[in-house]
Structure 1
Amino acid sequence: MTKDGKTNYVYEFTYNSGPGLREIFQCKYVQPDEALGRFRKILALTENPFDFKISIFDESTREESSFQVKGSVDEMFQKFKVFLETSTGYVFSVRTSEEMYQDVDVENFEIETMSNFDKMQMIIYASFKHGKFSSLDVAEIYEDTFKEDLPKSTASTYLKRMWEDGKGHLERHGNRTGYTYRLRTEISEVQREVERAEEILAAIQIRASK
Protein backbone atom coordinates (compact mmCIF):
# COMPACT_ATOMS: atom_id res chain seq x y z
CA MET A 1 0.00 0.00 0.00
CA THR A 2 1.30 3.47 -0.86
CA LYS A 3 1.58 6.37 1.58
CA ASP A 4 -1.64 7.91 0.26
CA GLY A 5 -3.64 4.76 1.05
CA LYS A 6 -3.81 3.33 -2.47
CA THR A 7 -3.07 -0.31 -3.20
CA ASN A 8 -1.78 -2.17 -6.25
CA TYR A 9 -4.93 -4.28 -6.54
CA VAL A 10 -7.28 -4.33 -9.52
CA TYR A 11 -10.61 -6.01 -8.76
CA GLU A 12 -12.86 -7.30 -11.52
CA PHE A 13 -16.38 -8.69 -11.12
CA THR A 14 -17.85 -10.58 -14.08
CA TYR A 15 -21.41 -11.88 -14.11
CA ASN A 16 -24.23 -12.84 -16.47
CA SER A 17 -27.28 -10.57 -16.40
CA GLY A 18 -29.20 -12.64 -18.93
CA PRO A 19 -28.80 -15.10 -21.81
CA GLY A 20 -25.64 -14.12 -23.63
CA LEU A 21 -25.23 -10.92 -21.60
CA ARG A 22 -21.98 -10.67 -19.69
CA GLU A 23 -21.33 -7.65 -17.47
CA ILE A 24 -17.96 -6.54 -16.11
CA PHE A 25 -17.46 -4.14 -13.20
CA GLN A 26 -13.93 -3.08 -12.27
CA CYS A 27 -12.39 -0.98 -9.52
CA LYS A 28 -8.72 -0.16 -9.09
CA TYR A 29 -6.24 0.57 -6.32
CA VAL A 30 -8.74 0.59 -3.45
CA GLN A 31 -8.28 -1.25 -0.19
CA PRO A 32 -10.03 -4.62 0.29
CA ASP A 33 -12.69 -3.21 2.63
CA GLU A 34 -13.71 -0.70 -0.03
CA ALA A 35 -13.78 -3.43 -2.70
CA LEU A 36 -16.05 -5.45 -0.43
CA GLY A 37 -18.33 -2.44 -0.04
CA ARG A 38 -18.55 -1.95 -3.79
CA PHE A 39 -19.37 -5.63 -4.27
CA ARG A 40 -22.19 -5.27 -1.74
CA LYS A 41 -23.55 -2.33 -3.71
CA ILE A 42 -23.45 -4.31 -6.96
CA LEU A 43 -25.41 -7.10 -5.28
CA ALA A 44 -27.93 -4.62 -3.89
CA LEU A 45 -28.52 -3.12 -7.34
CA THR A 46 -29.22 -6.43 -9.07
CA GLU A 47 -32.75 -7.78 -9.16
CA ASN A 48 -31.69 -11.39 -8.61
CA PRO A 49 -28.47 -13.00 -7.39
CA PHE A 50 -26.02 -13.81 -10.17
CA ASP A 51 -23.08 -16.17 -10.43
CA PHE A 52 -19.97 -14.03 -10.17
CA LYS A 53 -16.41 -14.59 -11.29
CA ILE A 54 -14.16 -12.38 -9.20
CA SER A 55 -10.48 -11.74 -9.87
CA ILE A 56 -7.86 -9.76 -7.97
CA PHE A 57 -4.73 -8.71 -9.84
CA ASP A 58 -1.71 -7.35 -7.95
CA GLU A 59 0.12 -4.99 -10.31
CA SER A 60 3.27 -4.99 -8.17
CA THR A 61 3.79 -8.78 -8.19
CA ARG A 62 1.83 -9.50 -11.42
CA GLU A 63 -0.06 -12.22 -9.54
CA GLU A 64 -3.76 -12.88 -10.07
CA SER A 65 -6.27 -14.77 -7.93
CA SER A 66 -9.79 -15.60 -9.05
CA PHE A 67 -12.76 -17.67 -8.04
CA GLN A 68 -16.37 -18.35 -8.97
CA VAL A 69 -19.05 -17.58 -6.40
CA LYS A 70 -22.75 -18.39 -6.42
CA GLY A 71 -25.61 -18.59 -3.96
CA SER A 72 -27.71 -16.06 -2.10
CA VAL A 73 -26.62 -12.43 -1.72
CA ASP A 74 -25.50 -13.05 1.87
CA GLU A 75 -23.57 -16.18 0.90
CA MET A 76 -21.77 -14.45 -1.99
CA PHE A 77 -20.89 -11.50 0.22
CA GLN A 78 -19.37 -13.70 2.92
CA LYS A 79 -17.48 -15.85 0.40
CA PHE A 80 -15.97 -12.78 -1.24
CA LYS A 81 -14.94 -11.46 2.15
CA VAL A 82 -13.07 -14.70 2.90
CA PHE A 83 -11.52 -14.63 -0.58
CA LEU A 84 -10.26 -11.09 0.02
CA GLU A 85 -8.72 -12.06 3.34
CA THR A 86 -6.92 -15.10 1.94
CA SER A 87 -5.80 -13.33 -1.26
CA THR A 88 -4.57 -10.06 0.23
CA GLY A 89 -3.90 -10.85 3.90
CA TYR A 90 -6.27 -8.06 4.89
CA VAL A 91 -8.09 -8.48 8.22
CA PHE A 92 -11.59 -7.03 8.32
CA SER A 93 -12.91 -5.38 11.44
CA VAL A 94 -15.98 -6.93 13.03
CA ARG A 95 -19.16 -5.31 11.72
CA THR A 96 -22.80 -6.02 12.38
CA SER A 97 -24.97 -7.55 9.68
CA GLU A 98 -26.99 -4.34 9.65
CA GLU A 99 -23.88 -2.35 8.76
CA MET A 100 -22.80 -4.81 6.08
CA TYR A 101 -26.17 -5.15 4.39
CA GLN A 102 -27.63 -1.69 4.68
CA ASP A 103 -29.92 -0.93 1.74
CA VAL A 104 -28.57 1.08 -1.15
CA ASP A 105 -31.20 3.66 -2.05
CA VAL A 106 -30.52 5.20 -5.45
CA GLU A 107 -34.09 5.24 -6.66
CA ASN A 108 -34.59 8.98 -6.27
CA PHE A 109 -31.61 10.26 -8.18
CA GLU A 110 -31.70 11.24 -11.85
CA ILE A 111 -28.27 11.71 -13.37
CA GLU A 112 -29.75 13.65 -16.30
CA THR A 113 -30.95 16.40 -13.97
CA MET A 114 -27.61 16.88 -12.22
CA SER A 115 -25.51 19.91 -13.08
CA ASN A 116 -21.89 19.53 -14.19
CA PHE A 117 -20.84 20.94 -10.82
CA ASP A 118 -22.89 18.33 -8.94
CA LYS A 119 -21.44 15.54 -11.07
CA MET A 120 -17.92 16.83 -10.48
CA GLN A 121 -18.50 16.83 -6.72
CA MET A 122 -19.70 13.24 -6.95
CA ILE A 123 -16.51 12.27 -8.80
CA ILE A 124 -14.39 13.90 -6.10
CA TYR A 125 -16.18 12.14 -3.24
CA ALA A 126 -16.05 8.74 -4.94
CA SER A 127 -12.60 8.84 -6.53
CA PHE A 128 -10.27 10.95 -4.40
CA LYS A 129 -10.49 9.58 -0.88
CA HIS A 130 -6.73 9.13 -0.63
CA GLY A 131 -4.04 11.72 -1.25
CA LYS A 132 -4.03 14.98 -3.16
CA PHE A 133 -5.45 15.66 -6.61
CA SER A 134 -5.53 18.43 -9.20
CA SER A 135 -8.11 19.88 -11.57
CA LEU A 136 -6.59 17.78 -14.37
CA ASP A 137 -7.11 14.59 -12.34
CA VAL A 138 -10.75 15.52 -11.79
CA ALA A 139 -11.35 16.40 -15.44
CA GLU A 140 -9.90 13.09 -16.66
CA ILE A 141 -12.06 10.92 -14.39
CA TYR A 142 -15.13 13.07 -15.05
CA GLU A 143 -14.77 12.62 -18.81
CA ASP A 144 -14.12 8.89 -18.46
CA THR A 145 -17.16 8.42 -16.21
CA PHE A 146 -19.76 10.60 -17.93
CA LYS A 147 -18.36 10.59 -21.49
CA GLU A 148 -18.58 14.39 -21.46
CA ASP A 149 -15.87 17.02 -21.83
CA LEU A 150 -14.91 19.01 -18.75
CA PRO A 151 -12.24 21.62 -19.56
CA LYS A 152 -9.45 21.90 -17.01
CA SER A 153 -10.30 25.58 -16.51
CA THR A 154 -13.89 24.65 -15.64
CA ALA A 155 -12.70 21.96 -13.24
CA SER A 156 -10.42 24.55 -11.59
CA THR A 157 -13.32 26.97 -11.19
CA TYR A 158 -15.57 24.27 -9.74
CA LEU A 159 -12.87 23.12 -7.31
CA LYS A 160 -12.37 26.69 -6.08
CA ARG A 161 -16.14 27.02 -5.66
CA MET A 162 -16.31 23.76 -3.71
CA TRP A 163 -13.35 24.80 -1.54
CA GLU A 164 -15.01 28.14 -0.73
CA ASP A 165 -18.51 26.81 -0.04
CA GLY A 166 -18.08 26.90 3.74
CA LYS A 167 -18.50 23.16 4.33
CA GLY A 168 -14.79 22.59 4.82
CA HIS A 169 -14.75 19.33 2.86
CA LEU A 170 -11.62 20.26 0.88
CA GLU A 171 -8.12 21.38 1.79
CA ARG A 172 -6.18 23.42 -0.76
CA HIS A 173 -2.41 23.42 -1.19
CA GLY A 174 0.00 25.27 -3.47
CA ASN A 175 -0.42 28.64 -5.16
CA ARG A 176 -1.96 30.20 -8.26
CA THR A 177 0.55 28.46 -10.51
CA GLY A 178 -0.83 25.09 -9.47
CA TYR A 179 -3.28 24.15 -6.72
CA THR A 180 -3.83 20.66 -5.37
CA TYR A 181 -6.65 19.56 -3.09
CA ARG A 182 -7.33 16.91 -0.48
CA LEU A 183 -10.71 15.52 0.54
CA ARG A 184 -11.05 15.66 4.33
CA THR A 185 -12.25 12.10 4.83
CA GLU A 186 -11.75 12.37 8.58
CA ILE A 187 -15.01 14.39 8.69
CA SER A 188 -18.13 12.25 9.20
CA GLU A 189 -20.18 14.34 6.77
CA VAL A 190 -17.56 13.73 4.07
CA GLN A 191 -17.69 10.00 4.79
CA ARG A 192 -21.45 10.04 4.21
CA GLU A 193 -21.00 11.91 0.93
CA VAL A 194 -18.37 9.37 -0.14
CA GLU A 195 -20.77 6.47 0.46
CA ARG A 196 -23.59 8.20 -1.41
CA ALA A 197 -21.35 9.05 -4.38
CA GLU A 198 -20.06 5.48 -4.61
CA GLU A 199 -23.61 4.12 -4.58
CA ILE A 200 -24.71 6.43 -7.38
CA LEU A 201 -21.66 5.76 -9.55
CA ALA A 202 -22.10 2.00 -9.09
CA ALA A 203 -25.72 2.38 -10.21
CA ILE A 204 -24.65 4.40 -13.25
CA GLN A 205 -22.21 1.70 -14.34
CA ILE A 206 -24.77 -1.05 -13.95
CA ARG A 207 -27.49 0.89 -15.78
CA ALA A 208 -25.10 1.76 -18.60
CA SER A 209 -24.24 -1.91 -19.09
CA LYS A 210 -27.87 -2.94 -19.58
Structure 2
Amino acid sequence: MANISENPVQGLVLAEEYIERARALAKKNKRTILAIAGAPGSGKSTVARLLHEALKEISMIVPMDGYHLSNKELERLGRKERKGAPDTFDVWGYKSLIERLKNQQENEIIYAPEFYRTIEEPIAGSIPVFEDIPLIITEGNYLLLSQGKWQTLASIFDERWFVTAPVAERQQRLIDRHCYFGRSEEDAKAWVAHTDEPNAQLIEQHKQNVDLDIEWRNI
Protein backbone atom coordinates (compact mmCIF):
# COMPACT_ATOMS: atom_id res chain seq x y z
CA MET A 1 0.00 0.00 0.00
CA ALA A 2 1.47 3.33 -1.06
CA ASN A 3 1.52 6.48 1.04
CA ILE A 4 0.74 10.14 0.47
CA SER A 5 2.77 12.50 2.65
CA GLU A 6 2.70 16.18 3.48
CA ASN A 7 5.38 18.57 2.26
CA PRO A 8 5.89 20.98 5.20
CA VAL A 9 6.88 23.84 2.89
CA GLN A 10 4.48 23.60 -0.03
CA GLY A 11 1.55 21.90 1.70
CA LEU A 12 -0.12 18.70 0.62
CA VAL A 13 1.54 16.95 -2.29
CA LEU A 14 0.26 14.03 -4.30
CA ALA A 15 2.92 11.45 -5.17
CA GLU A 16 4.12 11.76 -8.76
CA GLU A 17 3.41 8.09 -9.44
CA TYR A 18 -0.33 8.72 -9.00
CA ILE A 19 -0.28 11.77 -11.25
CA GLU A 20 1.55 9.87 -13.98
CA ARG A 21 -0.78 6.91 -13.64
CA ALA A 22 -3.77 9.20 -14.16
CA ARG A 23 -2.04 11.00 -17.01
CA ALA A 24 -1.56 7.67 -18.77
CA LEU A 25 -5.29 6.98 -18.39
CA ALA A 26 -6.04 10.30 -20.07
CA LYS A 27 -3.93 9.31 -23.09
CA LYS A 28 -6.21 6.44 -24.04
CA ASN A 29 -8.22 6.85 -27.23
CA LYS A 30 -11.52 7.20 -25.38
CA ARG A 31 -13.13 9.03 -22.47
CA THR A 32 -11.75 7.48 -19.28
CA ILE A 33 -13.52 7.38 -15.90
CA LEU A 34 -11.31 7.19 -12.79
CA ALA A 35 -13.24 6.38 -9.60
CA ILE A 36 -11.76 7.38 -6.24
CA ALA A 37 -13.59 5.86 -3.27
CA GLY A 38 -13.12 5.71 0.48
CA ALA A 39 -14.81 6.18 3.83
CA PRO A 40 -16.06 9.57 5.03
CA GLY A 41 -13.04 11.66 6.03
CA SER A 42 -10.51 9.36 4.35
CA GLY A 43 -9.15 12.08 2.09
CA LYS A 44 -10.60 10.90 -1.22
CA SER A 45 -11.91 14.36 -2.14
CA THR A 46 -8.49 15.85 -1.47
CA VAL A 47 -6.80 13.19 -3.60
CA ALA A 48 -9.23 13.98 -6.42
CA ARG A 49 -8.65 17.73 -6.07
CA LEU A 50 -4.84 17.43 -6.06
CA LEU A 51 -4.98 15.11 -9.04
CA HIS A 52 -7.15 17.55 -10.96
CA GLU A 53 -4.89 20.47 -10.05
CA ALA A 54 -1.92 18.56 -11.48
CA LEU A 55 -3.86 17.63 -14.64
CA LYS A 56 -6.10 20.67 -14.95
CA GLU A 57 -6.14 20.85 -18.75
CA ILE A 58 -7.14 17.22 -19.28
CA SER A 59 -9.36 16.32 -16.31
CA MET A 60 -12.64 17.20 -14.63
CA ILE A 61 -14.04 16.25 -11.21
CA VAL A 62 -17.61 14.93 -11.07
CA PRO A 63 -18.46 13.99 -7.45
CA MET A 64 -20.95 11.33 -6.44
CA ASP A 65 -22.28 13.67 -3.72
CA GLY A 66 -24.36 15.57 -6.27
CA TYR A 67 -26.73 12.62 -6.08
CA HIS A 68 -27.61 13.07 -2.40
CA LEU A 69 -31.39 12.89 -2.09
CA SER A 70 -32.83 16.25 -1.05
CA ASN A 71 -33.65 16.90 2.59
CA LYS A 72 -37.34 17.02 1.64
CA GLU A 73 -37.18 13.56 0.09
CA LEU A 74 -35.16 12.17 3.02
CA GLU A 75 -37.85 13.45 5.39
CA ARG A 76 -40.55 11.75 3.31
CA LEU A 77 -38.60 8.48 3.41
CA GLY A 78 -37.79 8.81 7.12
CA ARG A 79 -34.05 8.76 6.45
CA LYS A 80 -32.90 12.30 7.24
CA GLU A 81 -31.20 11.24 10.47
CA ARG A 82 -29.10 8.80 8.41
CA LYS A 83 -28.17 11.27 5.68
CA GLY A 84 -25.01 9.98 4.00
CA ALA A 85 -25.94 6.29 4.34
CA PRO A 86 -25.99 4.17 1.16
CA ASP A 87 -29.77 4.41 0.76
CA THR A 88 -29.81 8.23 0.87
CA PHE A 89 -28.46 8.66 -2.67
CA ASP A 90 -29.95 8.37 -6.15
CA VAL A 91 -27.72 5.51 -7.32
CA TRP A 92 -29.42 5.01 -10.67
CA GLY A 93 -29.24 8.73 -11.44
CA TYR A 94 -25.51 8.73 -10.73
CA LYS A 95 -24.96 5.59 -12.82
CA SER A 96 -26.84 7.11 -15.74
CA LEU A 97 -24.63 10.20 -15.57
CA ILE A 98 -21.42 8.14 -15.68
CA GLU A 99 -22.74 6.12 -18.61
CA ARG A 100 -23.55 9.36 -20.45
CA LEU A 101 -20.09 10.71 -19.70
CA LYS A 102 -18.47 7.55 -21.09
CA ASN A 103 -20.33 8.05 -24.36
CA GLN A 104 -20.42 11.84 -24.60
CA GLN A 105 -21.04 13.08 -28.12
CA GLU A 106 -19.14 15.71 -30.07
CA ASN A 107 -20.13 19.27 -29.14
CA GLU A 108 -22.32 17.97 -26.31
CA ILE A 109 -22.23 19.57 -22.86
CA ILE A 110 -23.31 17.29 -20.01
CA TYR A 111 -24.34 19.00 -16.78
CA ALA A 112 -23.69 17.26 -13.46
CA PRO A 113 -25.15 18.18 -10.05
CA GLU A 114 -23.02 19.32 -7.13
CA PHE A 115 -23.59 19.05 -3.38
CA TYR A 116 -23.25 22.31 -1.43
CA ARG A 117 -22.40 21.82 2.23
CA THR A 118 -23.39 25.38 3.09
CA ILE A 119 -27.03 24.49 2.42
CA GLU A 120 -26.71 20.67 2.74
CA GLU A 121 -28.44 20.20 -0.61
CA PRO A 122 -27.48 19.17 -4.16
CA ILE A 123 -28.01 21.64 -7.01
CA ALA A 124 -28.61 20.34 -10.52
CA GLY A 125 -26.71 21.64 -13.54
CA SER A 126 -23.77 22.94 -11.50
CA ILE A 127 -20.86 21.24 -13.30
CA PRO A 128 -20.54 21.55 -17.09
CA VAL A 129 -18.53 18.72 -18.65
CA PHE A 130 -17.20 19.30 -22.17
CA GLU A 131 -16.55 16.49 -24.63
CA ASP A 132 -12.88 17.34 -25.16
CA ILE A 133 -11.86 16.46 -21.56
CA PRO A 134 -10.33 12.95 -21.72
CA LEU A 135 -10.25 12.12 -17.99
CA ILE A 136 -13.24 12.28 -15.64
CA ILE A 137 -12.34 11.93 -11.96
CA THR A 138 -15.35 10.87 -9.93
CA GLU A 139 -15.15 10.45 -6.17
CA GLY A 140 -17.48 9.26 -3.46
CA ASN A 141 -18.00 6.96 -0.51
CA TYR A 142 -19.82 4.08 -2.16
CA LEU A 143 -18.39 3.83 -5.66
CA LEU A 144 -16.78 0.45 -4.95
CA LEU A 145 -19.33 -0.93 -2.51
CA SER A 146 -20.16 -4.59 -3.16
CA GLN A 147 -23.72 -4.34 -1.87
CA GLY A 148 -27.15 -3.42 -3.22
CA LYS A 149 -27.47 -1.11 -6.20
CA TRP A 150 -23.95 0.17 -5.65
CA GLN A 151 -22.34 -3.09 -6.74
CA THR A 152 -23.47 -2.40 -10.31
CA LEU A 153 -21.16 0.63 -10.54
CA ALA A 154 -17.66 -0.87 -10.33
CA SER A 155 -17.75 -2.39 -13.81
CA ILE A 156 -18.43 0.96 -15.52
CA PHE A 157 -15.27 2.61 -14.20
CA ASP A 158 -12.02 2.28 -16.15
CA GLU A 159 -9.86 2.43 -13.02
CA ARG A 160 -10.71 2.23 -9.32
CA TRP A 161 -8.66 3.80 -6.49
CA PHE A 162 -9.42 3.40 -2.79
CA VAL A 163 -8.18 5.85 -0.13
CA THR A 164 -7.81 4.93 3.55
CA ALA A 165 -6.70 6.85 6.64
CA PRO A 166 -6.11 5.99 10.32
CA VAL A 167 -9.43 5.84 12.14
CA ALA A 168 -8.64 8.53 14.71
CA GLU A 169 -7.48 11.00 12.05
CA ARG A 170 -10.46 10.26 9.84
CA GLN A 171 -12.93 10.75 12.69
CA GLN A 172 -11.32 13.98 13.89
CA ARG A 173 -11.40 15.36 10.36
CA LEU A 174 -15.14 14.65 10.24
CA ILE A 175 -15.79 16.25 13.62
CA ASP A 176 -13.90 19.38 12.51
CA ARG A 177 -15.88 19.46 9.26
CA HIS A 178 -19.25 19.14 10.99
CA CYS A 179 -18.34 21.88 13.46
CA TYR A 180 -17.20 24.16 10.63
CA PHE A 181 -20.60 23.80 8.98
CA GLY A 182 -22.55 24.62 12.12
CA ARG A 183 -22.88 21.60 14.41
CA SER A 184 -21.85 21.82 18.05
CA GLU A 185 -18.89 19.66 19.02
CA GLU A 186 -21.19 17.36 20.96
CA ASP A 187 -23.55 16.94 18.00
CA ALA A 188 -20.62 16.47 15.64
CA LYS A 189 -19.13 13.68 17.75
CA ALA A 190 -22.52 11.98 18.03
CA TRP A 191 -23.09 12.16 14.25
CA VAL A 192 -19.64 10.71 13.56
CA ALA A 193 -20.16 7.88 16.06
CA HIS A 194 -23.68 6.91 15.01
CA THR A 195 -23.77 7.77 11.28
CA ASP A 196 -20.35 8.36 9.71
CA GLU A 197 -18.48 5.55 11.44
CA PRO A 198 -20.97 2.75 10.67
CA ASN A 199 -20.89 3.92 7.04
CA ALA A 200 -17.09 3.95 7.09
CA GLN A 201 -16.86 0.41 8.40
CA LEU A 202 -19.32 -0.80 5.76
CA ILE A 203 -17.31 0.86 2.99
CA GLU A 204 -13.95 -0.50 4.11
CA GLN A 205 -15.26 -4.03 4.71
CA HIS A 206 -17.15 -4.34 1.43
CA LYS A 207 -15.02 -2.65 -1.21
CA GLN A 208 -14.60 -4.42 -4.56
CA ASN A 209 -12.46 -4.38 -7.72
CA VAL A 210 -9.75 -2.02 -6.44
CA ASP A 211 -6.90 -1.23 -8.84
CA LEU A 212 -4.92 0.95 -6.42
CA ASP A 213 -4.91 1.32 -2.63
CA ILE A 214 -3.70 4.66 -1.27
CA GLU A 215 -3.00 5.30 2.40
CA TRP A 216 -3.35 8.94 3.40
CA ARG A 217 -1.26 10.13 6.34
CA ASN A 218 -0.60 13.40 8.11
CA ILE A 219 -3.28 15.52 6.46
The normalised TM-score by structure 1 is: 0.28
TM-score (norm 2): 0.28
Q: Which has the larger radius of gyration?
A: 1
Where relative contact order (Cα < 8 A, 6+ residues apart) is larger, the structure is: 2
